[in-house]
Structure 1
């Protein structure tokens, strides 16, 4: 089937299957992706709660620490009355800072100047610094706890600032501040499975599991906002670049699909880029937001794989359904075709039997006609063979009458005996000719090959003597027995010997050699002459009907074709070739009869 015909026949069906498979694949992708993202969201929610708990625990550990400083009488006296107690308070704050594990603890007066600090004896001490610009100072001066994550202007060290107002007689007389490091928490986050970030109220990343993400922004900052943050010194003049996080599609409550672009010149940024499911949660009253970024690339890959499998499965199901329908139609058409074929077969069997009978009858007629043609060819020689005995009969019978009249009974009896012998000879000749000319049944039986060869030579004896042919026969009588029909074997041998006589006509010393022997389960008969042999163009058409090299009045070219058909009928072979020593040789191969069977000897003389 050509491609064009295939497309015409199955084009619409294939396009329908492709469309259905594509639709199933898209639907499967959507369903699989939504299920995968839902599972990812559940896992992200658990992680979000876990990270929020750890962050709140870290912050709450120091939440009430600044307020406890207001319980110390020395701290209140120093802030309220001046410096006589500065050394005592500084040492107290230093010891307290060491035991609490904070970065620094310090006290501010009403003007925002540091009057005591835990790092009082270090070169980078806070004492004397004006921190009135810090937001936590203003919040505490208004009587509220202050909270701020920023970068110190002295040492440039980031930390979380907690402040509390110092009260005396119900009046705010100063501020106590504690700076806490969250690096330990960040270090624990560095080993988590998914990225996590904490942003402050300005949208600046202040904590992150990836160090390169710190002090970046979730979105590009407007110029006005950037200048305000620079004036506040909260981030100590950090450039605050954008993280490169792009929101693509919301997914449920407090979740969205985002895309994170790779950061330039950051080692390992390709691992922290791609598609993520972002889930955010506020951090109490701090104004912070905790965000977990769950990688969604694997979910999409799995969804595409499942979509491909769904498409293939739907295509296979469609193909199976189509094949089943085609099979049903094929079986129905096959049943109809089988019924029609059976009817045609029955009709053909009837015609074949009829034609076989006709052809068999025609073949038998053709074989018999070939025998009659052979009889016609040898009739001239037989007429000469019969004329001489007839003349002798006339002479001997006339002499016998004369001798009887004279009373010479003995001589008359001698003539009559000779007449009887001549009549017997004529009877043998006519019986042999009659046996050869009669129709044969064609049934197989054991045949003495020597007897068949002798009968054939007897029929052609006149031609052999007239051509002065030297005949050599090498066949053991009653030892070489073939399984065939005696009459038809004689016909084959007559045809082969007659062809050999035609071939050696005009040869100086014509010779004919007939050799027969048994070879295993086969009997082989060779007819060889010493003529010019078979030309190459003759060998190619040797057994074709009506092919002959003789003159038109000497045959129709059916002798070898009929002989080949006779030999094939009995399961044998007939071949013709040139002998290495010259001349042509025809070989007849027939099945050998069982040794225990009696040779067919009566057919040739019937």
Structure 2
């Protein structure tokens, strides 16, 4: 036997088992009755040939063929039935032809043949069982090897991705700190020192976010995160996130919301919006507009968040895997590939999901469906109830329609 046992779709390693392996491949995808039908036809052909040739030719070995066929492809029980049927037909044929002298001899001959066939059935079923066990063991080994290869590839991808996201902030921190140490020699102004301190703070926040993403991904993998739902106005939450998103820079951002208040986990949803906004900023040129749409969903009940941009879009071959961990869109601006995977996983924790499609013209649209019970009243961005009868802000605060509010956020260049 070779190093690897052949499967149902592969060639055998020895000539003696080649025919049985071929029948196995043939009958594997067919109903079981086909095996019995094939065995019956083969038995009938052998019996007919035995009758036609008479006692001149010995057909004992050929009567083993249907028994072997049924045993190998249908199991030990079917082989016992096939052996009994073959013995009865074989004995009947020879008795009718006068080859057996009388009933006592015929009965004894039938018992001997039955014993011989049962030995063959036992041997074949034992060999088949051994092959099946070896196949299962080989399959288990292959899956384990594939799993180890995937883990190794994931480790390499994680190291590359995380090191990519660590290098930038660490370099900024080191460069700013070294410059501040030499501030007297360089005669830095107060504004320049403040700018360097701001750069250190921004880089530290990036590192903190990366650590949070990795910890959340680990908690998700271990099933330790559960949504803690509270009344949340996703539109206002999105406005608050956009207002604090330094990554957006001078991009014009529009938030359109119908004011739907849904029971959601505010912290997880805030992370969803942050990661989608960060992704839009990463893959669009400065000045390219970003639009966030928040609308009520009826089936299922909840809210639908859409973030669209005018960047290069997502290639078709990446759309099915863009929400998998450590999948990066490519280019020098690609991040660690954790943010979008957290978007999808946080949405799944709410019973929803995330997907991406092309935006008409250029760009991409990322959709996140967040099922949840729609509640009355209004809440702040932080989720605290503000009262059932609270009036919506007037046009002076940036609201334009009675049922849908639109916030135009003019963003200047960041101080660093």
Check whether TM > 0.5: no
TM-score tier, shorter chain, comes to 0.3 to 0.5
**Richer in strand (by share):** 1
TM-score by length of 1: 0.31
TM-score by length of 2: 0.42
**Which of 1 and 2 has higher RCO (CA within 8 Å, sep 6+)?**
2
**Richer in helix (by share):** 2
